[in-house]
A and B are shown apart, each in its own frame.
Chain A
Amino acid sequence: MTIDTARPFQLILDAICQVAPDIEPSDVTDLDRNDLIRDALELDSMDQLNIAEAIHERCGLNIAESDYYHMDTLASFEDYLREHLGD
């Protein structure tokens, strides 16, 4: 099954903007793919949990707590989503 390659990024963007309405979409699109998202956008553990929840709501993917480290950078997060949404 093929996945639109833009979709993982769009999911991340939407999830972040949903849980942190004060973050502009451009703040996310301007990120370097290897930036630590938490540091760059001043996210805390509550934000991280909310992002996992938003992803779950949007596409049914349940990111286990032990997989949270995949959410560290845009690159790793997109790879993770691409892999798990491909099935």
Chain B
Amino acid sequence: MAAETSATIDFNLPSLGSDMEAGTVIEWLVAVGDIVHKGDVLVRVDTEKADIDVETWQDGAIVEIVAEPGETLAVGSTLARLASNGSISTTPPTDSVATPRQDQEPALTSEAIKDPFAALILDDEENMRAASSAKRSKAPDGPTARPLNMAAIDTAVSPRMVYWPSPAAGPAIAAGRAGQGVSATDGESPPITPSDRSLSRSERRQRKLAEVMARSNRDIPHFYLSRQIDLTLALTRLSAHNENAEPSARVLPAALLLHAVATAAQGSVVNGQFDDEPVDSDHVHLGVAVNLRGGGLATPVIPASETLDLSDLMTTLKAMVARAKAGRMTSRDMTPATMTVTNLGDTGVDRVFGVIRPPERALVGFGAIVERPTVVDGVCVPRSIVDVTLAADHRVVNGHAASLFLSAVAALLEDDTGSTALEINSHLEGDT
């Protein structure tokens, strides 16, 4: 019978970045009865950082809109309900995974822990199931599952929690951070501490950034490395490509640098997250610092950046930066990053020593590409040089591994047979 083969899926407010606690519904782009597909934008949500277009990760039909425009909800709260057909396994309440597992702290399955990011970006039903059953298994505990103290608050924003926190965790965190001492054990969700609505978006964003950066400097023992990279060969090739290409097909040096970072980061210890313990990722979800006119900073993320070739990376980057500057990002842009790159080359600085964005382990910085006198084969010649820097978390990364990572970035960009060079070559071949 149809009633039994269809199941209802909760469409919840995802955590759009590790520092997000709540969001306010701006408008629904769908209505009850609409058929939606994975990747469709269902709702626009106001967060401290930007208006986010939140996508669904499930196919189905909208059966109920739970959160009305204007409502502020904690991360993990239900926004709407979808009816799926029977082919999508949404675990019924009687299923064994619904049993609360209090001994497993953030109750995710091992697959989800192995790569908690996969569910957000891959076409992978298994991961979606792992995610939703884990979330469901927490639900019966309610807010009493963890004591509200500073340790619990810190744990609550660990990478595992970022994705599927219990519905009560969000307001508890918000209240705790705001120092209002709201008890989360009274069985009722405390009201969400409103992000001060009297502040402008940019003021709220800056306040949020300040909080995260202060936490980073307090908790993360940073160390810094710097390395010079000779881009002469890569830029010569890139210019040759761009000179013949229409503007829409041109590739910026910034994309070249990101491509090399993404390739080198895969499998390196500098990629991933670290809060109470390391959380590795098979993918490089690359945060990109984007300067907003008027002084703001956004860091949208390129999910699985290491899987993109140079041309796709450029296309993705261009669209993503445009969204960030317009203050309207998608939930995909808010995939929790495993590493962030800041490129201040346009401003003419030589080097940037950045502050790691927790729970990431490292931040890569690029300065301006400049002609510098360089010794090549015993002769001093002008070469196009960029300084790459790495700020790394000494709790999980050591100097040797960090320097190997920077060497790998350099090799990809300098070496004639490096994969980035090969990417450029394939572009050149495509031109002819």
Name A residues whose Cβ lies closer than 8 Å to a Cβ of B.
19-23, 41-42, 44-46, 49-50, 52-53, 55-56, 62-66
Q: Report whether B291 and A22 are in contact in the complex, using a CB–CB cutoff of 8 Å.
A: no
Instruction: Give the residue among B247, B252, B317, B345 with the most A Cβ atoms within 10 A.
Output: B247
Q: What would be 20 A-B contacts, judged by CB atoms less than 8 Å apart?
A: A19-B322, A22-B326, A23-B293, A41-B293, A42-B291, A44-B291, A44-B346, A45-B254, A46-B318, A46-B321, A49-B247, A49-B318, A50-B322, A53-B246, A53-B248, A56-B247, A56-B248, A62-B246, A63-B247, A64-B243
* CB-based A-B contact count at 8 angstroms: 51
Q: Report whether B325 and A20 are in contact in the complex, using a CB–CB cutoff of 8 Å.
A: yes
Cα distance A55–B243 when bound, in Å?
A: 16
Instruction: Give the residue among B243, B321, B325, B327 with the most A Cβ atoms within 10 A.
Output: B325
Query: Does B90 have its Cβ within 8 Å of any Cβ on chain A?
Result: no
Query: Does B250 have its Cβ within 8 Å of any Cβ on chain A?
Result: yes
Q: Which residues of the partner chain B approach A23 to less than 8 Å between Cβ atoms?
A: 293
Q: Which residues of the partner chain B approach A65 to less than 8 Å between Cβ atoms?
A: 239, 242-243, 250
Q: Report whether B252 and A66 are in contact in the complex, using a CB–CB cutoff of 8 Å.
A: no
Cα distance A56–B249 when bound, in Å?
A: 12
> What are the nearest 8 A-B pairs in CB distance?
A53-B247, A52-B247, A44-B346, A42-B293, A65-B242, A56-B247, A53-B248, A46-B321
Distance to closest chain B CB from A37 (angstroms): 13
Distance to closest chain A CB from B230 (angstroms): 20
Cα distance A55–B246 when bound, in Å?
A: 11
Q: Report whether B291 and A21 are in contact in the complex, using a CB–CB cutoff of 8 Å.
A: no
Q: Report whether B247 and A45 are in contact in the complex, using a CB–CB cutoff of 8 Å.
A: no
Distance to closest chain A CB from B296 (angstroms): 10
* Given the contacts A22-B293, A65-B242, A66-B243, A45 and B250 also touching, CB distance less than 8 Å: no
Q: Report whether B326 and A50 are in contact in the complex, using a CB–CB cutoff of 8 Å.
A: no
A-facing mask of B388-423, CB < 8 A → 1, else 0? 000000000000000000000000000000000000
Q: Report whether B246 and A50 are in contact in the complex, using a CB–CB cutoff of 8 Å.
A: no
Cα distance A46–B345 when bound, in Å?
A: 12
Cα distance A39–B239 when bound, in Å?
A: 24
Q: Report whether A50 and B318 are in contact in the complex, using a CB–CB cutoff of 8 Å.
A: yes
Instruction: Give the residue among A46, A55, A62 with the most B Cβ atoms within 10 A.
Output: A46
Cα distance A46–B258 when bound, in Å?
A: 14
Cα distance A46–B113 when bound, in Å?
A: 37
Partner of A62, one of B247, B293, B327: B247
Distance to closest chain A CB from B112 (angstroms): 35
- Closest partner residue, chain B, to A65 (CB atom): B242
